[in-house]
Every structure is written in C-alpha cells, then in structure tokens.
Amino acid sequence: MVTSNLSRRDLLRRGGAALAGLTVLRLAGPAHAFPGQPDDEVLPWLDQPGENPVPNVVGSQLVWEQLDSWTTPTDRHFTIRHYGTPAIDAQNWRLAVAGLVGRPLTLTLDDLKARARQEVDFTLECSGNHGFQWNPGLIGNARWAGTPLAPLLGDAGVLDRGIEVVFWGSDAGKETVRDMEITEQFARSMSVADALDPNVLLAYEMNGAPLPANHGAPVRLIAPGWYGVANVKWLERIEVLATRYQGKYMARDYVTIREEQRDGATVWTFSSVGRARLKSAPAKVTRRDGSYRIMGAAWGAPVARVEVQIDGGPWTATTLTEGTASGHSWRFWTLEWGTPAAGEHTITSRAIDTDGNVQPAPQDPAITTKRTYWESTGQITRRVGIPAAGRG
C-alpha cells in the first residue's frame, strides 16, 4: 500500500490536497510514496554540475532536483560503458560457466528464465560518483529481476581449488599495458564466497521490462551491496580460477590509492574498489505555501539516521521516509526548513549507519588521505538561494 510509507502526521498536515497527490502516486504504481507533491516548487541549486567531458562513457546522470520517485525510471537511470555497447543477438547469446567447475555449463536466455526468479531493489552507484564537479549523478535505484547465481554455481560444482569467480563482459577495448598494445575484455571478479551470496543475481529485467542494451542486455550481474563496477553488463562467461584476477578494472583502474601515516612514516596503499560505502546527498529544496523543505537520499549501507547542517550550524535530525533497512537501496529523508532568511544558504547532509559509522566530513582522514577520485563518500554541501518573501 502506498499509504504505508506516509506517516499519519504527513497525511494530516497535507490535508485534502494530499489526496490528489496520493491518487497520482497510486496511478504511477510504485510501492513507495514520495515526500512532497508533484506541484511543489523546486529551487535549483546555485552550484550546478559542469558539462560531461566523456559523453561516450557516461550517460543520463541523475539531476538531483528532478528526483521525484524512489524507483529511477529506466530511461533516466545513468549509464557507464567503458568500451561502448557491444552488439549482442539475444537468440544466439550463450552464457558459459567454466574454469574450475566439475560440470561446465552453457546456458541460453530461456535456460536462465526457466530457473528460479528473484527480484531486488538495488541502488547502483558508480564509485566515481561525485569524483568530479561534473559527475554528481552516477546513481539510480531500480528493481532488478533474474535468477540467483549461487544455485547455478552449485549446479556447476565449484572445485575446491577455485578461489575466485571472474565475470566477463562481451565488451572489449584497446589498452596499453607497459609497452604492449592489448585488447582487454571488461571483467570483474569476486571471491567464491562473495559470488555465493544469495542476493547476487544474473539479471535479465530492469523495472519490469527486459534489460535494455545500455544496461547490459541480455543478462548482467547484479551484486547488491557492491559499487556499480562490480555489476558486469553484457555477461558472456563466468569463470572460476585458482588465482586472484588482476584485470584492468580490478587492479589498474578502480583502485583507490591512499597516502597514509603510520608511526610517523608515509605508506601508500592500494585497494580495489568493491563494496558500496555509506553516503548521502541533499537532493532538493522545495517550497509550498511559502514554507521550505529539504529532501535527500542516503545509501551504501543500512542507514539508521541522516542529519543536516545548515550554514555550518548544528546537525539536525531528518525524517527517514522511503526505503527499508536492507541497505541495498537508498532511503529518502526530509527536513522541514520552515521560512529561512532570504539569501544564500549552504546545506550539508551526513548519514549514520546501523553500526554507528558516520559519513566522513571532507576534512576527515578517510577523505584527505585519498589520492584518487573513486569512493568520494565525503559529506556533500549544496548551495541554495532563498528569494525575499513576497517575491514568488
């Protein structure tokens, strides 16, 4: 029921007008209501992202001010493709399960669809999100459907020597490694234990429709709790190895480099981007009947609370609205701002997870020691201009 996500207070405060809004929400069909109403006035942020310098790689970034549904419509969900979109004929497509398995498998799309179906609401964030001034919108939340990977690996029979599962995409590109020109296929890997997580899916649907080409048709990996890069699109081969896999997207790119201090000495560390991390962002400021509201999202871990700081003042608790504590999909939050003074204001949010971890501030070591742009999880500050009362 749509109303289950609306507090009684919300309904009372919205009064009769809320019913019209609810009707719209119900027609739209999501199981999650949205804070606010379709005709709330949105104030554009004063700090706007710059132009996307790599349109061949990055598409359809989230425009935060336009966030108006818990599920991101497929045509508004960001896309990343490092080697273009491969042409794949679903009829002739096959998925190989190979390497250190007792019974290698070759599966058609129908074979996968005939297996158990499982769905998950999952917020996919590129670990490069917020890495630059032009890319604050590499995030989306979709309902993915497919078949769980673990039983399939069970059928194939992972041999005891197998420690690593490599997911190969069909896309490939030219890379220079040392002095060599090579052609590298997009691939990511996980430990066998991580690959056997019951939430990991071979997904063939996104938001109730067949997976579109730009999101990995016919089948992609969906690994809830992992950054976007782990969710290999255009999957063609799953291979079990006896060694760690060290391809570009595990070991050369998507590697976070830190300059850390240990006992007075500088140590440079390198870690492959993997599991999602706690993060939040203000989404938009809206106005209704002269009163302002701040709304945003938090994700990357099971979120316990979100706090907001206005103009560097005290941290104030927000109200969590949509989403669940699963930690796999974003939660929305709101703060009634009332009637702030006219002029420019800053709005910062920080998420706190159910273990008590706090999203780091930009000046915290977790952020200051980082020398690469991936995993930019620091608190985000946005700027907004409040017009003088009576003007609009």
Sites of contact with Mo ion (CB under 5 A): 80, 126, 228-229
Is position 136 an interface residue for ligand MTE (rule: CB under 6 A)?
Answer: no
Is position 81 an interface residue for ligand MTE (rule: CB under 6 A)?
Answer: yes
Nearer to Mo ion, 118 or 127 (CB): 127
Token readout for 318 is 């927000």
Q: 130, exposed or middle or buried, with CB in 10 Å at 0-12, 13-18, 19+?
A: buried
Token readout for 108 is 């058609």
Is residue 362 within 8 A of residue 379, CB to CB? The reply is yes
Position of tokens 């001010």? 65
Q: 63, exposed or middle or buried, with CB in 10 Å at 0-12, 13-18, 19+?
A: middle
- What's the distance, CA 129 to chain centroid? 9
Span interacting with ligand MTE, options 3-11, 80-88, 290-298, 301-309, rule CB under 6 A: 80-88
Mask for 98-127, x = binds ligand MTE (CB under 6 A): --------------------------x-x-
Residue 118: closest CA among 91, 154, 150? 150
Least separation in angstroms between residue 40's CB and ligand MTE is: 28
Token readout for 304 is 């316990």
Q: 133, exposed or middle or buried, with CB in 10 Å at 0-12, 13-18, 19+?
A: exposed
Angstrom distance (rounded) from CA 107 to CA 259: 45
Is position 239 an interface residue for ligand MTE (rule: CB under 6 A)?
Answer: no
124 binds, among Mo ion, ligand MTE, none (CB under 5 to 8 A by kind): ligand MTE
Is position 299 an interface residue for ligand MTE (rule: CB under 6 A)?
Answer: no
Binding residue count for ligand MTE, defined by CB under 6 A: 18
Nearer to Mo ion, 162 or 274 (CB): 274
Phi and psi based region of residue 311 (left: phi greater than 0; alpha: psi -120 to 50; beta: remaining) = left
Interactions with ligand MTE, residue window 310-369 (CB under 6 A)? none
Span interacting with ligand MTE, options 34-42, 76-84, 240-248, 291-299, rule CB under 6 A: 76-84
Span interacting with ligand MTE, options 21-29, 72-80, 107-115, 282-290, rule CB under 6 A: 72-80
Nearer to ligand MTE, 124 or 156 (CB): 124
Q: Judged by CB under 6 A, which of 70, 144, 234, 245 binds ligand MTE?
A: 234
